[in-house]
Amino acid sequence: MKVEIEEFKCVGAGHCVVAAPEVFDQRDDDGVVILLDADPPEHEHENTREAAQLCPAAAILLLEKATST
């Protein structure tokens, strides 16, 4: 999984930080999202997906890697 953020869309709601604090943080001055880990470990994928779903501004983009079998 790769994570990208569109800062210009962020409204500072903070749902991403609550859902996935190992992946997201917020700037102190305006609350805009900070991406801590653009390639989170597998155990953070579920939390990261939840953060993207909860984002009221749709500022979080997830690029799922295809798994090879």
Mean pLDDT of the chain: 95
Domain with 57, as residue range(s), is 2-63
Percent of the chain with pLDDT over 70: 96
pLDDT of 67 above 90:
no
Predicted confidence band at 69 (pLDDT cuts at 50, 70, 90)? low
**CB-CB contact of 20 with 48 (8 Å):** yes
Per the domain annotation, does 8 fall within a domain?
yes
Closest by CA position to 37, among listed 53, 15, 13, 20: 20
To the question of pTM greater than 0.85 for the whole model, the response is yes
Split into its structural domains, the chain has a count of 1
Per the domain annotation, does 69 fall within a domain?
no
Written as one letter, the residue type at 17 is V
CATH code for the domain in which residue 25 is found: 3.30.70.20
Q: What is the pLDDT of residue 68?
A: 60
What would the DSSP string read from start to end of the chain?
-EEEE-GGG-----HHHHH-TTTEEE-TTT--EEES-SS--GGGHHHHHHHHHH-TT--EEEEPPPPP-
